[in-house]
Amino acid sequence: MPRELLIQVPPEVAAQQPLLIPHLAKLMHVSPADITHVAILKRSVDARQKAVKINLKVAVYLNEAYNESAVLLPEYREVSNSREVIIIGAGPAGLFAALQLIELGLKPIVLERGKDVQERRRDLKAINRDHIVNEDSNYCYGEGGAGTYSDGKLYTRSKKRGDVDRILRLFVGFGASPEIMVEAHPHIGTNKLPKIIKAMRDKIIEHGGEVLFNTRVTDILVKSNAVEGVATQNGSTIKADKVILATGHSARDIFELLDRKKIHIEAKPFALGVRAEHPQKLIDSIQYSCDFNSGRGEFLPPAPYAIVKQVNGRGMYSFCMCPGGVIAPCATSPGEVVTNGWSPSKRDQETANSGIVVELKLEDFKPFAKHGALAGMEFQKAIEQKAWHLAGETQRVPAQRMVDFTQNKLSADIPKTSYVPGTTPVELGQVFPGFLTQVMREGFTEFGKAMRGYLTNDAILHAPESRTSSPVRIPRNPETLEHVQIKGLYPCGEGAGYAGGIISAAIDGEKCALKCV
């Protein structure tokens, strides 16, 4: 049996087995020749001291053979003629719900308003280059959901919600690198996710499930407070007495549909702010205490950061931080601008970006109270539409240098950033309500105290970062996971207010599928 050890070593030792093996042999008082294999089980960076270290959990094999075991997918059943369950949305919640249903012997029918992962690329190019927003196919809508083309982070604090390792193993089984099982903050990369998502879809279809693209649900059919099926934009009706509603945090038409049909929904607080972009070398120098010009060295990854401050009774924090990444246009309708960030698998871009957002409260939505449960959504829309107008009514976004923003000063110039559609110099106080602007101005000053060098005019703020989570919660019974009012309707994932990222959405999708049995 291998011996498991927790060790802390310099980055160059962690990265090179010829250095790691002698180090372990010395610790274990054995000869290096006795060590036949070292398996790295977990890895994280410890940058709290000036000398950066790598924390490793390793399994050391002494004088015994090591046989690498492949990560295998579950035994999926043939479900062509089985009882059908409709899944609305092919994001992580919907896809993992579909795979779980097949394991359980039920047939999923996945309805996705957008296109498959390959076809989506054309619409992403159109929004980046031509400022054209396809309302059904964009960074938020389409196969794989918002996560497919916005980074693929797999880190979650949701360990109490379900089996995180199971979800990671499934990703590996569908083609992700086994490294995601090792890293403390696993990440697949936008460039690699499409093939993995396609493999999931192929598996669903191979075993008798259905995946229908360009199929937007326009009605949920209900009789006597029980679901009967759905209607789609092409006039077709699909019948089933179980519907998993996994439409994501930006499906405003679904929220409006539920509201019109008097199916109970609730306004939910969320967070909103800007996306800040720094040179990655600057973040490296702050986090790793290294020289800006010489850089972090070849054995350390591009540095991330996470920061939280309380300002005027509100939390202000970094969100979806993307080392070596870029900022993307994530509008879902014409007449609005929205930002988000992503990184390729190597995280090799020259810039780092992060959402910097402020927590909102239900009372902040009072100016939109006439919209009832949709008040938060209307608050969100108003800011996105104002930003669109101020930036020139294209997909350019309002932008400002960070120090200039704290000083209420219009930036004289904005350098080219990673945001392809471009930027327009705007004093960002015009975009946000006064209370939000004040919190962010004070918050960035506090950030600068916590991370020396962070508060700089070399950092460019892009507005807004507004789709952090759903502005609506769709209430469900905590035992059955069905809607509190409609039998057979399972609100699921981020859009329903029960997840916050790929892993937690996937876990929630599986939980809802299990309840469908």
Q: Write down the domain spans for the chain.
A: 3-62, 84-264+475-514, 271-465
Give the pLDDT score at 68: 85
d(CA 503, CA 93): 9
Q: Which of 78-87, 175-184, 358-367 has the lowest mean pLDDT?
A: 175-184
Q: Give how far Cα 316 sits from Cα of 96, 259, 279, 351, 457, Å.
A: 32, 31, 22, 22, 20
Q: Give how far Cα 249 sits from Cα of 93, 146, 307, 473, Å.
A: 12, 9, 24, 10
Q: Is a pLDDT exceeding 60 seen at residue 160?
A: no
d(CA 138, CA 485): 32
Instruction: Name every residue whose Cβ is closer than 8 Å to that of residue 7 and which is 6 or more positions away in sequence.
Output: 23, 24, 27, 55, 56, 58
Q: Which of 67-81, 141-155, 411-425, 430-444 has the lowest mean pLDDT?
A: 141-155
Q: DSSP letters of 109-154?
A: EEE-SS--HHHHHHHHHIIIII-PPPSSSSSSSSTTGGGTTS--B-
| Banded pLDDT at 157 (limits 50, 70, 90) | low
3-state SS record for 20-66: HHHHHHHHHCCCHHHEEEEEEEEEEEECCCCCCEEEEEEEEEECCCC
Tokens of 147: 């996560």
In residues, how long is the chain? Answer: 517
d(CA 405, CA 402): 5
Q: Is the pTM of this model over 0.85?
A: yes
Cα-based angle 202, 203, 206 (whole degrees, multiple of 5): 85
Helix (H) or strand (E) holding 257: helix 252-260
State residue 195 phi and psi, 5-degree precision: -65, -35
Give the pLDDT score at 158: 55
End-to-end Cα separation, the chain, in angstroms: 40
d(CA 173, CA 187): 15
| Banded pLDDT at 117 (limits 50, 70, 90) | very high
Work out the average pLDDT over 42-61: 96
Work out the average pLDDT over 327-338: 97
| Banded pLDDT at 207 (limits 50, 70, 90) | very high
| Banded pLDDT at 150 (limits 50, 70, 90) | low
Q: Which CATH class is domain 84-264+475-514?
A: alpha beta
3-state SS record for 215-239: CCEEEEEEECCEEEEEEECCCCEEE
User: What is the per-residue pLDDT across 3-39, written as a single tens digit (0 to 9) for each?
Assistant: 999 999 999 999 999 999 999 999 999 999 999 999 9
- Strand 472-473 relative to strand 237-239: parallel, antiparallel, unpaired? unpaired
Selection from 310, 324, 279, 319 nearest residue 464 by Cα? 319
Average pLDDT, the chain: 95
| Banded pLDDT at 181 (limits 50, 70, 90) | very high
Work out the average pLDDT over 167-175: 96
Give the pLDDT score at 161: 54
In this prediction, what percent of the chain has a pLDDT beyond 90? 91
Q: Is a pLDDT exceeding 70 seen at residue 472?
A: yes
Work out the average pLDDT over 388-406: 98
| Banded pLDDT at 223 (limits 50, 70, 90) | very high
Q: Which CATH class is domain 3-62?
A: alpha beta
Higher pLDDT pick, 343 / 84: 84
CB atoms within 10 A of CB 122: 11
* 3-62 and 84-264+475-514 share one fold: no
Work out the average pLDDT over 195-207: 97
Work out the average pLDDT over 202-222: 98
Work out the average pLDDT over 277-292: 96
